[in-house]
Structure 1
Amino acid sequence: MEVVAEGLWRLADYHEKRGEVGKAVKCLEAICQSQVSFFPIVEVKTRLRIASLLLNHFHNVNHAKSHLERSQLLLKSIPSCFELKCRAFSLLSQCYHLVGAIPPQKQILNKGLELTASSADGFSVKLWSCNFNSQLANALIIEGDYQNSIYALEHGYICAAEMCYPELQMFFATSILHVHLMQWEDVNLVEKALSKCDEVWDSIEPHKVSNELKETVSVGIDRQAWRDKLDLAPPPIDGEWLPRAAVYVLVDLMVVIFGRPKGLFKECGKRIQSGLQSVQEELLKLGISDGVREVDLQHSAIWMAGVYLMLLMQFLENKVAVELTRSEFVEAQEALVQMRNWFVRFPTILQACESVIEMLRGQYAHSVGCFSEAAFHFIEAAKDKPRIPLECKLVKPLRSHELLLTWKNSAPIDWVAKPLTESKSMEAMCKVYAAVSYICIGDAESSSQALEIIGPLYRVMDSYVGVREKTSVLFAYGLLLMKQHNLQEAR
């Protein structure tokens, strides 16, 4: 029967090379559905290949997951087969990630790491360890577990260093820097991570850097020649950067972010329009058109939709800022309404944007002279509110207008009051803005409210790592003292 399996494998190869992937899958599934038993290792190899085809070409996550779970059961009875076991763990982790099942994803990745830890040292073993640590770090980031994410990335970096693989070291070093930038608790840790990136970059041989740059240029020239996602490296690393379209959108966003402080509003406007158009095209491909809401999304589309929705909100946020700076209040209001509408449709995916929206509403209100409303929105942006956990999954409504939210393991939601913004910097800035709005109202009661806000911030000012926060606190406190006619202290 092994000869039959070999023949079907080759026939599947033939169809895949001709682009007839559906026929290739049918050839392989004939082995799994046969009434005659094959050796377990034959069935495992077949199911792994089916799963790869389903994920890469059809995005049929549930079907792929069932093949991988069956492969895992078969592999338990086989003592060796290190490569097959690792590949099954890696693919199954990707499936869990696509359906948003983070706890089982972490569990399967930890099993993979246990397998690599118990295996003899070797290049392949360390590569798989890097694979699992990379995926685990990503899963932990989704849960907001920055510390353990950094821990996983550091383990990956150590493995890459032991293999003398500087390109892979660079991947882990930049990933660690990325996590520190997201967390931003200690500026010294950020600087240390940045120095490590410079150190690894300098260790890469110049001709390799030159080749990578040439490769990057060729990707930009011939976009259509590449698959939708760029591979990080060959298997078993086989990770992915952002989808290609998102990378080009991110370039537009970076131009806007760096151009706005310089007053390059015309160029920023072009980039914002370009970015918004590209993002909306990608959202349409994911089935997100007018009227589609969070509960209508397939689980496999949720995480990719999150990438583009967050980019969309970043563009709209910058558009509001640009238009307010130019005193184009109608355009700013339109962009702000768009942000609010997107948030209403996708509240869980975009929950991190809620405080930003409230802050921008405050800035808009302040710009048009509605200081009381501005102060209200700034306070809302900084205050504590009950939050929906990121780990909850979305289930289609059981009744009209009803949204059922449950944990992925079907346990009840633990409603915990968390800050609307979990960023200390953002919270401080919103409080400063609120204080300034109260000061602008001008009456005694408002000045008293401003003092209640800015006084505690002034006392802990040295605890902030950013210059912007310290400068803003000093400005607001000085403005308040000036209103109180304490000109010497205000100066």
Structure 2
Amino acid sequence: MEWVTVTTSASVEKPEEVVALFHLTRDFAAKHLPLQAIKCLEAVVGAQPPFLPQIEAEARANLAIFLLRYTHNAREAKVHLEQALRTAEDLPVSLTFVCKVISLLIACLGKLQSPVQQKQVLAKGLDLVRADQLQFEGATEGEKTRWYLVFQAHLAQILVDEGDKQAALEMARESKKEIKGRCAPLVQIQTELTVLQLTLVAQDYHRAAEQLDICEEALKMCDTQDALESWAYFHLLHSLYNLRVGKHVDLKKSLGCAQKKIYALRQSQVVAKLIPPDFLEVLHCLLVSIYFRLSGDFRDEKSKVLEAHSMIKKRSVLMSSNYNDAVSKPFYITLTFLVVESEIISSLTRGNIKEAMSNIMRIANMVHRYPETLVGLESSVYLLMGSVNILCGNHGSAEKHMKLALDSSSDDYQSNLAKLQMCLICLENDMLSTSEAADRIQELSVSFKEEERGYPAFLLCEVALALAQEDVGGAKKIVQDLIARANHKGDRQLLALGLVEYAKVLVLEGDTTLSKQVVDSAKGLATHLQHLPTLLHVLTFSNQNMRQEEVLPIVLQKWKKTVATGITNIAETKCDEIMQGLVK
């Protein structure tokens, strides 16, 4: 376990009693006896008469670490950290000790969901590392810069969680300017990567493309083994960019580059400074699994998902006994959520409703258990519940969950997806007049840019509106654009849906021959993808004059019957109960 030590310009000799208690604390920690270790530190803090302030501050800081790591006493930990910080500010202690206490206090306030206090403490930390105070005269410029970036990163994350992504991005850009010429090349690269990450979060893909070039040039100027970690993360961010804008071929290439750098990092003797190699590996597995799913390669997708779960499980065992690793725990919790979320989308793609509902309950439990870590991600749970209900034909319930997703989301991308699905529900079920639908689509038009992966899905709404308005020519033009873009972006599911809409247009034009050929292509594509909902949609359209039981193969009939019986009802109720306490 990491021990936070007070270092001072003047040596402070610890009494034998304190030395013994600190030694016992470390010994109990090594033997996985945290409660005994806590008792030892409490004995130091509560001693009468009290020990020197430096000793008490060190004991309080380490006591807070144990309380945060092994108990639910975040409020007690907060009291100790605040006292340690007040004491340290009046003493000639090292900058590192004060900054570590501040960093722990920020994490503690995160557990207590106190973003306002977090920002106040961060402001204090930033003032300390900017100021040239006498008690910190031993601190190097590099140390000050490092802590400045750590605190700025914390502040940016809070702003992102609050939904103010643009403010977080602007702050990162200001930080980049402020440290330019004052830090080592690798630190500058890490700052550039932070700007890239926040640009992607803000969904500014034009600037993200420019920032990718800036990062790559900076990395080429520092292409050493020390830069392997940064190279790997760069390629993963590049992969995320390619995924978001629908560059399927480029996605495969960037994932391959990331894999090479991660392997080289594993083989080298270089110790990762910011991101553990297995974190990079899990993130890589997640992105590769998504690539396979989009390609319709579900066996390879499943293999990558299992690999990701295996690595996270192995890491969890390590984290249970090592405080250094436990600091990374929130990142692994988030990764686990994202991997399971990807599994749910895959289950829905293949029409496996039971499996999807089981995993939705799993991530709902995760959000309930780790609210401070998964803040804002409850919208994903509602969005997925809405998607399940759409497949089941429960449009009222689907709309309810989509609205909950909108209310709880601070992520524009998630909000836009919810709005898009609600619009499609309404259009397909005649729940809106054409003028109301036109207004909704106009609102969505500013949310989905042409270069984004979700743009073809937006065009699907426009096709449905044009058909509702009996504008066959307009619908044909839009659907041809939809098909071309979905094909270019490698989105085969939307391509299949687009082909069905094209077949509808051709029927209205009287071209039944070409319509049949287009429907056959859609059937083949949906079958290859194993996307049962799309296949049902295609089969229902292609046999409109026949009863559905005469159309669907036995396996599809069974699926449809299972869905119709409302297998989601019990699971949905449980899921809603779990999430109830999170609805603001």
Q: So what's the TM-score if we normalise by structure 1? A: 0.66
In structure 1, the residue matched to 2:15 is 5
2:157 is equivalent to residue 163 of structure 1? no
2:297 to 217, 242, 264: 264
Is the helix fraction higher in 1 or 2? 2
1:286-365 to structure 2, matched below 5 A, reads: 307=334, 310-323=337-350, 329=351, 332-342=352-362, 345=365, 346=367, 350-365=377-392
Secondary structure in structure 2 of the residue aligned to 1:204 = coil
2:155 is equivalent to residue 136 of structure 1? yes
In structure 2, the residue matched to 1:426 is 417
Residues of 1 paired with 2:261 and 2:210: CA distance?
29
2:54 is equivalent to residue 44 of structure 1? no
Residues of 2 paired with 1:458 and 1:32: CA distance?
63
In structure 1, the residue matched to 2:475 is 490
In structure 2, the residue matched to 1:392 is none
Task: Please list the CA deviations of residues 269-291 of structure 1 after superposition, one character each: whole Å capped at 9, or x if unmatched.
Answer: 2333454677689899999xxxx
Gaps (5+ residues) in structure 1? 234-239, 288-299, 324-328, 389-417, 439-445
Task: Please list the CA deviations of residues 276-323 of structure 1 after superposition, one character each: whole Å capped at 9, or x if unmatched.
Answer: 677689899999xxxxxxxxxxxx999678525632541333222431
Residues of 1 paired with 2:360 and 2:228: CA distance?
45
Shift of 1:479: 4.8
2:191 is equivalent to residue 191 of structure 1? no
Residues of 2 paired with 1:147 and 1:481: CA distance?
35
2:124 is equivalent to residue 111 of structure 1? yes
Amino acid at match of 2:104: L
Aligned-pair identity in percent equals 18
In structure 2, the residue matched to 1:403 is none
Residues of 1 paired with 2:312 and 2:229: CA distance?
30
Task: Please list the CA deviations of residues 296-352 of structure 1 after superposition, one character each: whole Å capped at 9, or x if unmatched.
Answer: xxxx999678525632541333222431xxxxx3xx211332244346644665422
Kept in 2: contact 1:381–1:420 (CA 8 A): no
Residues of 1 paired with 2:148 and 2:415: CA distance?
35
Kept in 2: contact 1:13–1:24 (CA 8 A): no
Residues of 1 paired with 2:158 and 2:74: CA distance?
17
Residues 219 and 208 of structure 1: CA distance in aligned 2, closer, same or farther (over 3 Å): closer
In structure 1, the residue matched to 2:288 is 255
Kept in 2: contact 1:133–1:153 (CA 8 A): yes
Kept in 2: contact 1:283–1:308 (CA 8 A): no
Shift of 1:426: 1.2
Shift of 1:453: 1.9
Residues 322 and 221 of structure 1: CA distance in aligned 2, closer, same or farther (over 3 Å): farther
Kept in 2: contact 1:9–1:27 (CA 8 A): no
Kept in 1: contact 2:64–2:80 (CA 8 A): yes
Q: Which moved more, 1:336-345 or 1:136-145?
A: 336-345
Residues of 1 paired with 2:189 and 2:212: CA distance?
11
Secondary structure in structure 2 of the residue aligned to 1:163 = coil
Kept in 1: contact 2:406–2:418 (CA 8 A): no
Shift of 1:113: 0.9
RMSD: 4.7
Secondary structure in structure 2 of the residue aligned to 1:360 = helix
Task: Please list the CA deviations of residues 61-119 of structure 1 after superposition, one character each: whole Å capped at 9, or x if unmatched.
Answer: 55654432222232343377544433322232233234433332222111111122222
Shift of 1:15: 7.6
Task: Please list the CA deviations of residues 334-381 of structure 1 after superposition, one character each: whole Å capped at 9, or x if unmatched.
Answer: 13322443466446654221442244225523xxxx4xx45x466446
Kept in 2: contact 1:134–1:156 (CA 8 A): no
Kept in 1: contact 2:389–2:397 (CA 8 A): yes
1:146 to 165, 181, 186: 165
Gaps (5+ residues) in structure 2? 1-10, 134-139, 233-259, 321-326, 477-584
1:175-214 to structure 2, matched below 5 A, reads: 175-184=194-203, 186-209=204-227
1:113-128 to structure 2, matched below 5 A, reads: 113-119=126-132, 122-128=141-147
Residues 456 and 36 of structure 1: CA distance in aligned 2, closer, same or farther (over 3 Å): closer
Residues of 2 paired with 1:262 and 1:85: CA distance?
51
Greater RCO (Cα-Cα under 8 Å, separation 6 or more): 2
In structure 1, the residue matched to 2:445 is 461
1:74 to 87, 103, 108: 87
Shift of 1:267: 0.9
Q: Which moved more, 1:162-171 or 1:15-24?
A: 15-24
Q: So what's the TM-score if we normalise by structure 2? A: 0.57
Shift of 1:122: 2.8
Secondary structure in structure 1 of the residue aligned to 2:304 = helix
1:437 to 428, 432, 435: 428
Residues of 2 paired with 1:263 and 1:379: CA distance?
29
Kept in 1: contact 2:165–2:202 (CA 8 A): yes
Residues of 2 paired with 1:426 and 1:151: CA distance?
25
Is the strand fraction higher in 1 or 2? 1
Task: Please list the CA deviations of residues 110-140 of structure 1 after superposition, one character each: whole Å capped at 9, or x if unmatched.
Answer: 1111122222683332222122212222233
Kept in 2: contact 1:425–1:469 (CA 8 A): no
Residues 253 and 45 of structure 1: CA distance in aligned 2, closer, same or farther (over 3 Å): same
Residues of 2 paired with 1:147 and 1:282: CA distance?
33
Paired residue total: 415
